[in-house]
Structure 1
Amino acid sequence: MTAPLLEARNLSRTFRVGGLRSRGTLHAVDDADFAIGAGEIVALVGESGSGKSTIARLLAQVYRPTGGEIRFEGTSLADLRSRRDVLRYRAAVPMVFQDPFSSLNPAYPVSHGILRGLKLHRPDIAPGDRRAEAIRVLTAVGLAPADQVLHRYPYELSGGQRQRVGFAQALAYRPKVILADEPVSMLDISIRIGLLNVMTSLRDERGVSLLYITHDIASARYVADRMMVMYAGRIVEAGPVDQVLGDPLHPYTQLLVAAVPDPRAELAVTAEMTKGEPPKVIDPGPGCRFADRCPLVRDVCRTTTPPLLELRPGVEVACHVAADNAGRAEDSIAAAG
């Protein structure tokens, strides 16, 4: 990875939940460390409720971190004081939401959102040139004829077309990193591939980086350069997508990979791996949050939270068992040498 554009250090976010007599703290994100470099797609995968969307909203400044910090191009977001600086950051790191219909105002044509965004975030474009810029970004995401799409209302477009409009709105700001939160999950399978290709073209042709949030392992493998696996608010494995999916080290990642339908393979998900209660994220105690579902659990897993360690070149894993196995492998190599 090149020098990071967007970086999180010990990023955490908690929420107070409960009533007057019983209150607790929900740990949505705990001590997340990651970076996104220039011109790469990083997939963030995990089950629903694992904290993926919370990370996106932290990066988009919808939520404020409870702990840790976010840095963009080396500058902490806590140092962004003026409205101009905040607008500049939000233009550089826009978000594309999961629901393509609710993210567009049904009372206005497509042109409204794009032209309004250009007026707010692109003062370098003269008012008379904004329409041409809107046509350019619509064409870039595969919406043609763009001049006709510009005047259509959201209800006149398909789900795939509406989501492309969302990417066009983000592209109009000249972004450096796009936060794409489940952008294809509400689309038919037959049209998902087209939108995934839009994402790869933004990376390859325009150098835009993307944080692609998904629970779909297959689409992550298709578009991503690197992958982060999240479970119960913690990142448990991260690295190049081929290594993470080709030979996963964390038991949870192994479960995700084994659950991907493959008619040619035998059923790999065992009852031992799928049993157990959902992870406790309200006032969780120490230890690995996957322990109750893990077939390899040890006593240390229930008492000590595993740190995220580099167990292979570029691959980080938070697992006591995987770390122990990696240490034994290194000892064997050293003994053989």
Structure 2
Amino acid sequence: MSPLLETIGLTRHFKVGTGLTRSVLHAVDDVDLAIGEREIVALVGESGSGKSTLARLVAQVHKPTRGEIRYQGQPLTAQRGRRAKLTYRGDVPMVFQDPFASLNPAYRVSHGILRGLKLHRPELSGAERQAEAERVVEAVGLTPAAEVLSRFPYELSGGQRQRIGFAQALAHRPKLILADEPVSMLDVSIRIGLLNVMADLRETEGVSILYITHDIAGARYLSDRIAVMYGGHVVETGPTEDVLAHPRHPYTELLLSAVPDPRAPLDVDAAAAKTDPPVVIDPTPSCRFRARCPLAVDRCHDVTPRLQPVAEGHTAACHVTAPPEGAQ
């Protein structure tokens, strides 16, 4: 079965500086990633690794420098006309990190949901839109729905506002929700509730989720598969339990070694706080993790490693632990 969405060599570069000092920042480089129907994929990495840029490429906020995004087997470049693009954005909505910034404080909660319904589902009558708004609010665990819809954003807690963000996405009848660190600004005590909401949406609504996170414990709790990003590259992918139990990239091992029990909360940024960031401005062909890697060899300084199979459904990009066929 073909994936619901896949990226092939997806790349995004940004020009930085001016004049003689102009350089190119490699935010995302040659990313191959697939998400199946009713699947939750966690994208893990420290700040600056390219996670959010990758999500924005999929959401069509940014245009790729090169590479391709395929949705339901068709390249997005084949989309023609406003209606086709609007349909895709309804199928693949994004839930942002800051729940308050994504809601207009001047309007009641119902405004954003009803507006989205009118835009993406114009066949619904006014009464049907109201009924659907109440349904999606109840689907994310907020009751009584009519009362919640009548409130202003400042009258809701952070966790409730983030649930409204998922309700807005759900109103479009999405196939894939892009959740960009949706729990990172919430208290630890209420994070698990939102993770359960995402798991329930997969079961009850049949949606897939790309879950972007710093927290390996949250990724383990929620996801079917995990992809680890470092310096704009995906360096390891596979079934979540397999990757966390048998990591094959030194960066994944570094993240897991920062805490004795990988089920305990781990902020990826904390694990990397005492080390230098990867070079992503005008980088040369090489492994971007080489300066921090205890296993680095000469080849790491000259050749960029590519993802190679290391087990069933498990890949890693490392010259040492996952050398390409024929390499010594």
TM-score normalized by the length of structure 1: 0.92
Question: Of the two, which has the highest radius of gyration?
Answer: 1
Tell me, yes or no, if the aligned pair for 2:2 and 2:73 is still in contact at 8 Å.
Answer: no
- Give the Cα–Cα distance (whole angstroms) in 2 for the partners of residues 43 and 7 of structure 1: 14
* Secondary structure of 1:221 counterpart: helix
Q: 5 Å matches for 1:170-189?
A: 170-189=169-188
Shift of 1:310: 1.0
- Give the Cα–Cα distance (whole angstroms) in 2 for the partners of residues 254 and 96 of structure 1: 29
Shift of 1:206: 1.7
Shift of 1:274: 8.3
- Give the Cα–Cα distance (whole angstroms) in 1 for the partners of residues 262 and 61 of structure 2: 41
Unpaired runs of 5+ in structure 2? 265-271
Shift of 1:264: 11
Pairs aligned (count): 320
Unpaired runs of 5+ in structure 1? 266-272, 329-337
Q: Is 1:157–2:160 an aligned residue pair?
A: no
- Give the Cα–Cα distance (whole angstroms) in 2 for the partners of residues 263 and 106 of structure 1: 38
- Give the Cα–Cα distance (whole angstroms) in 2 for the partners of residues 254 and 119 of structure 1: 47
1:91 counterpart letter in structure 2: G
Q: 5 Å matches for 1:95-244?
A: 95-244=94-243
Name the residue aligned to 2:64: 65
* Secondary structure of 2:185 counterpart: coil
Q: C-alpha offsets along residues 167-204 of structure 1, whole Å, 9 cap, x if unaligned?
A: 00000000000000000000000000000000000111
- Give the Cα–Cα distance (whole angstroms) in 2 for the partners of residues 302 and 289 of structure 1: 9
Kindly tell me: are residues 124 and 274 of structure 1, through their superposed partners in 2, closer, same or farther at Cα, counting changes over 3 Å?
Answer: closer
Tell me, yes or no, if the aligned pair for 1:10 and 1:30 is still in contact at 8 Å.
Answer: yes
Shift of 1:324: 4.1
Tell me, yes or no, if the aligned pair for 1:310 and 1:317 is still in contact at 8 Å.
Answer: yes
Identity in percent: 66
Kindly tell me: are residues 38 and 280 of structure 1, through their superposed partners in 2, closer, same or farther at Cα, counting changes over 3 Å?
Answer: same
Q: C-alpha offsets along residues 3-52 of structure 1, whole Å, 9 cap, x if unaligned?
A: 21111000000000012220100000000001100001000000000000
Shift of 1:128: 2.2
Shift of 1:126: 1.5
Shift of 1:299: 0.3
* Secondary structure of 1:320 counterpart: coil
- Give the Cα–Cα distance (whole angstroms) in 2 for the partners of residues 325 and 245 of structure 1: 22
Q: 5 Å matches for 1:1-337?
A: 2-260=1-259, 262=261, 277-324=276-323
- Give the Cα–Cα distance (whole angstroms) in 1 for the partners of residues 263 and 103 of structure 2: 41
Tell me, yes or no, if the aligned pair for 1:236 and 1:318 is still in contact at 8 Å.
Answer: yes
1:299 counterpart letter in structure 2: D
- Give the Cα–Cα distance (whole angstroms) in 1 for the partners of residues 325 and 216 of structure 2: 25
- Give the Cα–Cα distance (whole angstroms) in 2 for the partners of residues 108 and 260 of structure 1: 43
* Secondary structure of 1:297 counterpart: coil
Q: Which moved more, 1:123-132 or 1:113-122?
A: 123-132
2:103 counterpart letter in structure 1: L
- Give the Cα–Cα distance (whole angstroms) in 2 for the partners of residues 127 and 263 of structure 1: 48
Tell me, yes or no, if the aligned pair for 1:249 and 1:317 is still in contact at 8 Å.
Answer: yes
Shift of 1:277: 2.9
Tell me, yes or no, if the aligned pair for 1:106 and 1:153 is still in contact at 8 Å.
Answer: yes
Tell me, yes or no, if the aligned pair for 2:220 and 2:263 is still in contact at 8 Å.
Answer: no
Tell me, yes or no, if the aligned pair for 1:3 and 1:38 is still in contact at 8 Å.
Answer: no
Shift of 1:261: 5.7
- Give the Cα–Cα distance (whole angstroms) in 2 for the partners of residues 75 and 327 of structure 1: 34
RMSD: 1.9
- Give the Cα–Cα distance (whole angstroms) in 2 for the partners of residues 153 and 147 of structure 1: 13
Tell me, yes or no, if the aligned pair for 1:181 and 1:213 is still in contact at 8 Å.
Answer: yes
- Give the Cα–Cα distance (whole angstroms) in 2 for the partners of residues 187 and 92 of structure 1: 26
Kindly tell me: are residues 245 and 14 of structure 1, through their superposed partners in 2, closer, same or farther at Cα, counting changes over 3 Å?
Answer: same
TM-score normalized by the length of structure 2: 0.94
Q: Which moved more, 1:189-198 or 1:318-327?
A: 318-327
Name the residue aligned to 2:268: none
Name the residue aligned to 1:269: none
